[in-house]
Amino acid sequence: MRSTGSPSRALRIAAVQCDVAWEDRAANLGRAARDVAAAADQGARLVVFPEMFPTGFSMRTEVVAEPEDGPTAAFLHEQAVTRGVHVGGSFACSAAGRDRPVNRFLLAAPTGVDTVYDKLHPFSYSGEGEHYAPGREIVTTSVDGVRVTPFVCYDLRFADVFWDAAADTDAYVVVASWPAARKQHWRALLAARAIENQAYVVGVNRTGTGGGVAYEGGSVVFAPFGEVVGEAGTGPELLVATVDPDEVGEVRSRYPFLADRRRGEVARRLPASSS
């Protein structure tokens, strides 16, 4: 659908669908360095790892949490500068001023500039909220001129935060440890977030097992009109796809659905009491 009358501002994004060695940061970061190199060799400008890629989705914060400038942040910075690409993923972070660690997505740029987003919705079903503090704000950044808004796993179930960022977003990046038992939800919700916000959605999930939970990948990239741009299978895989902000603009111009969104304007009538 994109017009070819002007140069494309397309961005190649690599979703690293990987297994994660449980609570073994050294092993996971060692493997991740090879993944960044492979992604850069394929022309990716943004490389993204799954939720808590250095340790797995562990609630043992006394074991997995690290300082804001700890080994994972240092790894992301080093890879971004060395490879000349943007590199991001989430990890358990002991953030300053918080009573508990946060599930932090850190995106490191080749310039040394960081974008930091803390998961807004801890996954209460697994007890995450007892061990991790919720984030406080939505964050949007620019990667080579493409407006990118990151979210983490359970955030995907809350459409309102995606709506709040829609006007300023070309591509949402959702990093996850999404269990195989609910894989249908993963794909359906990613597609819905793309269609309803007329933006790309890049879902990055892990594989393997961790903490007694099975994961089957299914990383996928949806376009603003809901088409699948690229998808991975169930095992470790490097999914590289291109997102184009001009496509976002064209879809929104042709189908101006966002302008009709009436967030917070519609009254709700509750059932009358039967007493």
Q: What is the DSSP string of 214-227?
A: EEE---EEE-TTS-
Q: Measured between alpha carbons, how far is 64 from 59 in angstroms, rounded to an integer? A: 8
Place of tokens 């796993």: 153
Query: What is the average pLDDT across 110-114?
Result: 95
Q: Which of 18, 51, 231, 247 is catalytic?
A: 51
pLDDT band at 162 (very low <50, low <70, confident <90, very high): very high
Q: Mark whether 62 is an active-site residue.
A: no
Q: Is residue 147 part of a domain?
A: yes
Per residue in 196-209, pLDDT (tens digit) is 999 999 999 999 99
Q: Which of 66, 119, 128, 231 is catalytic?
A: 119
**Are the CB atoms for 66 and 92 separated by under 8 Å?**
yes
pLDDT of residue 274: 61
Average per-residue pLDDT in the chain? 95
Contacts of 206 (CB under 8 A, 6+ apart): 17, 18, 19, 20, 50, 51, 53, 56, 176, 177, 215, 217
Per residue in 232-256, pLDDT (tens digit) is 999 999 999 999 999 999 999 999 9
Q: Is residue 103 part of a domain?
A: yes
Q: Mark whether 119 is an active-site residue.
A: yes
pTM here?
A: 0.95
Q: Is the pLDDT assigned to residue 275 strictly greater than 80?
A: no
- Range scoring the smallest mean pLDDT among 95-109, 112-126, 254-268: 254-268
Q: Is residue 265 part of a domain?
A: no
Q: Which domain holds residue 111?
A: 11-260
Q: Is residue 97 part of a domain?
A: yes
Number of domains in the chain: 1
Give whole-number Cα distances, 222 to 154, 182, 193, in Å: 18, 19, 9
271 versus 128: the higher-pLDDT residue is 128
Comparing CA positions, the residue from 142, 183, 192, 185 lying closest to residue 163 is 192
Q: Is residue 235 part of a domain?
A: yes
- Range scoring the smallest mean pLDDT among 2-16, 88-102, 225-239, 249-263: 2-16
pLDDT band at 46 (very low <50, low <70, confident <90, very high): very high
Q: Which of 153, 216, 231, 247 is catalytic?
A: 153
The one-letter amino acid at 264:
G
112 versus 5: the higher-pLDDT residue is 112
Question: Hey, CA dihedral for 217, 221, 224, 228, is it positive or negative?
Answer: negative
User: For the domain that residue 204 is a member of, what is the CATH number?
Assistant: 3.60.110.10
**Structure tokens given for 63:** 């074991």
pLDDT of residue 266: 81
Q: Is residue 210 part of a domain?
A: yes
Q: Count of CB atoms within 10 A of residue 77's CB?
A: 19
Q: Is residue 107 part of a domain?
A: yes
Q: Is residue 223 part of a domain?
A: yes
- Range scoring the smallest mean pLDDT among 5-19, 25-39, 226-240: 5-19
Q: Mark whether 183 is an active-site residue.
A: no
Q: Measured between alpha carbons, how far is 48 from 35 in angstroms, rounded to an integer? A: 10
pLDDT of residue 1: 39
